[in-house]
């Protein structure tokens, strides 16, 4: 067959030729990164997935190729046959892997012309993110994105290899499925065959993976797309990828050991970083007490300090009344930060306000006593007790939040992270993992006036808390666990309920009627009664894990074709209008609010 390639076939990539290859005849194929003309000779930085090599068109060596090369511009696609030459000593380039050689071209094929790119294909790009997303085919040519996508590939293959070796089976679950109760909004897919009915895209394969355990597959995994129609935050996508696992005949320890091994393997393969295992474990209660957040960043100290008991009877009514009304007063000690300006303190107060803290009290600990708007409200004895509890030393700056336990913890927990960033306390090359365990099984939804599952309704309660399900549901702890890395949750899971009776009881506690339970989860309840092994699992957010592995700030930089925060694809212009005929077949009609 005749085609553009003819008999030409690539022998090497553009990143692998070295001085030791001198003299070889090679064929390279790739893109023009840059063209320079010098003394009648054309020099081209020639790029492919593997790297960059200099190729040379010399009119004295090959007049025909040189002539043909005249038209070449940036991003043209070429195939060249030539000889590897050592560069002259004064032309060596230590910064390039291939800087010791160049290719003297004998034969040139121009596969494709290229218009001038909208932005240059370089890591330092000035173009806005929306321009980059619109021209994603150019954006993806940039070395950093190429590296990210390749690292993501390496990560997913390392994960598969690790799990395969442990006897996990990669089993595919449906995408056109039934609405599941993950708490978020489903994407719906109208059915044409069964008009008026809808599929839901899965928020996770939760119920299917439990069915697979009930079916006896024992160890399941999948690297699988999931969907949530939520308003998007910076690090969320409407479709995201989950490393999803489930195991039978295991408890928490087994799952933690296996998933720690998985993380260790991935960090080694992708980044050559040795992660120490086993990871620390901390209960939810302890995490909240010490760090205010259920995803504590353990790379630095500055722990929260509960002073409610001390301040509850002091003359500072703001603190005292908060405690008396069931609230909480906590402090953190910004060691040595006495020189923070009023402006800096105000900016931190604004920061705490994002998390609904109504104010931020502070104390500067000076040689000669406290400098603080609130100092006057405390007796010396109270001051001494506080100073001891908070470990105050001269030069320290103390912050307090007094509010509901929830707001106090969150505002001060976030403030702790923010202070660490501002004070540069964080070593970005440290990877600090921790398991957070014993989450509450339920939380109370004030809006809907009912209990909600904190994890999901299939999470098992701790056996020793089972009797509190009736009497004190909010204090039932669950067998859920999250894996937290540097303050970010990267995975979470639980031991599941494997008894039909307990599952029915939990659903009832959640205020789900028997009828609703059977309509939504009847198949699970039936299956639970058919012989169910003890089982549990975990899911990692793969986009976020890849982002952390690549040291990127945005998950969009580790996804080939991401969506914007408005859930649109700027490259293809999705979503877009559907044809009238098609909507008719689906028996649906668009009825916008203005109609």
- Report the residue number, 177 or 406, with the smaller CB distance to a copy of itself: 177
Mask: binding to a copy of itself, 460-479, rule CB under 8 A, as x and -? --xxx--------------x
- Report the residue number, 377 or 561, with the smaller CB distance to a copy of itself: 561
Q: Is 5 in the site for a copy of itself (CB under 8 A)?
A: yes
- Report the residue number, 422 or 518, with the smaller CB distance to a copy of itself: 518
- Contact with a copy of itself (CB under 8 A) among 10, 299, 356, 505: 10
Q: Which residues are annotated as a binding site for ATP?
A: 228-230, 237, 489, 541-544
Read off the DSSP letter of residue 300. S
Closest C-alpha among 297, 304, 249 to residue 425:
297
Q: Distance (Å, rounded) from C-alpha 71 to C-alpha 31?
A: 14
Binding segment for a copy of itself among 16-24, 209-217, 256-264, 306-314 (CB under 8 A)?
Answer: 209-217
Binding segment for a copy of itself among 61-69, 224-232, 275-283, 334-342 (CB under 8 A)?
Answer: 224-232
Q: Which residues are annotated as a binding site for L-aspartate?
A: 182, 228, 455, 496
Q: Are 282 and 294 in contact (CB under 8 A)?
A: no
List the beta bridge partners of residue 188.
200
Q: Are 269 and 160 in contact (CB under 8 A)?
A: no
- Report the residue number, 213 or 311, with the smaller CB distance to a copy of itself: 213
- Report the residue number, 117 or 405, with the smaller CB distance to a copy of itself: 117
- Report the residue number, 57 or 521, with the smaller CB distance to a copy of itself: 521
Within 17-36, which residues bind a copy of itself (CB under 8 A)?
29-32
Q: Which residues are annotated as a binding site?
A: 182, 228-230, 237, 455, 489, 496, 541-544
- Contact with a copy of itself (CB under 8 A) among 21, 45, 75, 482: 75
CB of 358 to a copy of itself, least distance (A): 33
Q: Are 450 and 463 in contact (CB under 8 A)?
A: no
Q: Is 141 in the site for a copy of itself (CB under 8 A)?
A: yes
Q: Distance (Å, rounded) from C-alpha 335 to C-alpha 312?
A: 25
Q: Is 194 in the site for a copy of itself (CB under 8 A)?
A: yes
Q: Please, how many CA atoms are within 13 Å of residue 478, restricted to the half-sphere of its CB?
A: 29
Q: Distance (Å, rounded) from C-alpha 235 to C-alpha 232?
A: 8
Binding segment for a copy of itself among 407-415, 419-427, 505-513, 580-588 (CB under 8 A)?
Answer: 580-588
Within 398-437, which residues bind a copy of itself (CB under 8 A)?
none
- Report the residue number, 195 or 430, with the smaller CB distance to a copy of itself: 195
Binding segment for a copy of itself among 225-233, 268-276, 339-347, 402-410 (CB under 8 A)?
Answer: 225-233
Within 76-105, which residues bind a copy of itself (CB under 8 A)?
76-77, 79
- Contact with a copy of itself (CB under 8 A) among 64, 92, 150, 474: 150
- H/E element holding 401? strand 397-403
Q: Are strands 219-227 and 169-170 parallel, antiparallel or unpaired?
A: parallel
Coil/strand/helix, residue 52: strand
Read off the DSSP letter of residue 94. T
Q: HEC profile for 355-398?
A: CCCCCCEEEEEECCEEECCCHHHCCHHHHHHHHHHHCCCCCCEE
Q: Is 269 in the site for a copy of itself (CB under 8 A)?
A: no
CB of 57 to a copy of itself, least distance (A): 18
Q: Is 447 in the site for a copy of itself (CB under 8 A)?
A: no
Tokens of 572: 């293809």
Q: Is 71 in the site for a copy of itself (CB under 8 A)?
A: no
Within 45-64, which residues bind a copy of itself (CB under 8 A)?
47-49
Within 542-571, which residues bind a copy of itself (CB under 8 A)?
559-561, 563, 566-569, 571
- H/E element holding 317? helix 317-324
Tokens of 508: 């009832």
- Please tell me the count of residues contacting a copy of itself according to CB under 8 A: 133
- Contact with a copy of itself (CB under 8 A) among 119, 198, 351, 377: 198
Cis peptide before 297 (omega within 30 of 0): no
- Contact with a copy of itself (CB under 8 A) among 146, 283, 349, 414: 146
Is 235 exposed, middle or buried, given 0-12, 13-18 or 19+ CB atoms closer than 10 A?
middle
Q: Distance (Å, rounded) from C-alpha 330 to C-alpha 415?
A: 12
Cβ neighbours of residue 474 closer than 8 Å, sequence gap 6 or more:
440, 442, 443, 444, 451
CB of 542 to a copy of itself, least distance (A): 9
Q: Is 112 in the site for a copy of itself (CB under 8 A)?
A: yes
Within 153-192, which residues bind a copy of itself (CB under 8 A)?
153, 156-157, 160, 164, 169-179, 185-192
Q: Is 201 in the site for a copy of itself (CB under 8 A)?
A: yes
CB of 489 to a copy of itself, least distance (A): 21
- Contact with a copy of itself (CB under 8 A) among 138, 263, 512, 517: 138
Is 99 exposed, middle or buried, given 0-12, 13-18 or 19+ CB atoms closer than 10 A?
middle
Mask: binding to a copy of itself, 482-501, rule CB under 8 A, as x and -? -------------x--xx--
Is 212 exposed, middle or buried, given 0-12, 13-18 or 19+ CB atoms closer than 10 A?
buried
CA-to-CA separations, 371 to 311, 374, 386, in angstroms, rounded = 18, 9, 14
CB of 367 to a copy of itself, least distance (A): 50
Cis peptide before 413 (omega within 30 of 0): no
How many Cβ atoms are within 10 Å of 56's Cβ, its own excluded? 23
Within 244-263, which residues bind a copy of itself (CB under 8 A)?
248-254
CB of 211 to a copy of itself, least distance (A): 5
Q: Is 513 in the site for a copy of itself (CB under 8 A)?
A: no
Is 129 exposed, middle or buried, given 0-12, 13-18 or 19+ CB atoms closer than 10 A?
middle
Q: Is 582 in the site for a copy of itself (CB under 8 A)?
A: yes
CB of 502 to a copy of itself, least distance (A): 11
Sole residue written with tokens 């939040």: 401
Q: Distance (Å, rounded) from C-alpha 15 to C-alpha 98?
A: 6
Q: Are 416 and 292 in contact (CB under 8 A)?
A: yes
CB of 37 to a copy of itself, least distance (A): 20
Q: Is 12 in the site for a copy of itself (CB under 8 A)?
A: no
């Amino acid at each position: 067959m005749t085609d553009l390639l003819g008999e030409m076939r690539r022998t090497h990539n553009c990143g692998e030729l070295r001085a030791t290859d001198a003299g070889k005849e090679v064929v390279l194929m790739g893109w023009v990164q840059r063209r320079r003309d010098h003394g009648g000779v054309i020099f081209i930085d020639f790029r492919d997935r593997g790297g960059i090599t200099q190729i040379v068109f010399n009119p004295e060596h090959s007049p025909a190729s040189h002539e043909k090369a005249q038209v070449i511009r940036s991003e043209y696609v070429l195939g060249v046959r030539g000889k590897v030459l050592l560069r002259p000593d004064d032309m060596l380039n230590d910064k390039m892997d291939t800087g010791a050689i160049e290719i003297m071209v004998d034969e040139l094929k121009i596969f494709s012309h290229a218009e001038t790119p909208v932005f240059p294909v370089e890591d330092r790009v000035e173009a806005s993110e929306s321009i980059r997303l619109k021209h994603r085919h150019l954006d993806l040519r940039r070395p950093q994105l190429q590296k990210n996508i390749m690292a993501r590939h390496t990560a997913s293959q390392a994960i598969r290899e690790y799990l395969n070796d442990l006897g996990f089976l990669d089993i595919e679950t449906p995408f056109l499925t039934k609405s599941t109760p993950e708490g978020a909004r489903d994407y719906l897919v109208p059915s044409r065959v069964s008009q008026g009915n809808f599929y839901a895209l899965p928020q996770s394969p939760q119920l299917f993976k439990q069915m697979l355990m009930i079916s006896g597959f024992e160890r399941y995994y999948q690297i699988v797309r999931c969907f949530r129609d939520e308003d998007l935050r910076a690090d969320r996508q409407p479709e995201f990828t989950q490393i999803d696992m489930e195991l039978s005949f295991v408890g928490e320890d087994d799952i933690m050991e296996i998933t720690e091994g998985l993380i260790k393997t991935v960090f080694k393969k992708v980044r050559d970083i040795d992660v120490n295992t086993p990871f620390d474990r901390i209960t939810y209660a302890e995490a909240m007490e010490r760090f205010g957040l259920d995803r504590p960043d353990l790379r630095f100290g500055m722990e929260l300090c509960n002073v409610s008991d001390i301040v509850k009877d002091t003359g500072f009514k703001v603190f005292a009344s908060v405690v008396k009304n069931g609230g909480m007063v906590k402090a953190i000690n910004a060691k040595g930060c006495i020189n923070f300006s009023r402006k800096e303190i105000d900016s931190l107060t604004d920061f705490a306000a994002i998390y609904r803290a109504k104010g931020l009290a502070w104390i500067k600990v000076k040689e000669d006593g406290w400098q603080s708007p609130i100092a006057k409200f405390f007796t010396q004895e109270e001051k001494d007790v506080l100073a001891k509890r908070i470990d105050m030393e001269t030069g320290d700056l103390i912050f307090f939040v007094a509010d509901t336990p929830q707001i106090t913890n969150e505002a001060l927990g976030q403030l702790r992270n923010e202070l660490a960033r501002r004070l540069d306390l964080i070593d970005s090359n440290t990877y600090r993992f921790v398991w957070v365990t014993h989450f509450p099984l339920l939380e109370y939804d004030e809006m809907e006036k009912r209990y909600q599952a904190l994890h999901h309704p299939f999470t098992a309660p701790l056996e020793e808390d089972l009797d509190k399900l009736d009497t004190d549901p909010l204090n039932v702890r669950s067998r859920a666990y999250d894996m937290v890395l540097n303050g970010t949750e990267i995975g979470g899971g639980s031991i599941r309920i494997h008894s039909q009776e307990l599952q029915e009881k939990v659903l009832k506690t959640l205020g789900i009627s028997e009828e609703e339970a059977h309509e939504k989860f009847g198949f699970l309840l039936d299956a639970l009664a058919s012989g169910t092994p003890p089982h549990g699992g975990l899911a990692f957010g793969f986009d976020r894990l890849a982002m952390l592995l690549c040291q990127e700030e945005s998950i969009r930089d580790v996804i080939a074709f991401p969506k914007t925060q408005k859930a649109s694809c700027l490259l293809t212009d999705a979503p877009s209008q559907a044809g009238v005929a098609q909507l008719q077949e689906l028996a649906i009609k668009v009825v916008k609010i203005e109609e």
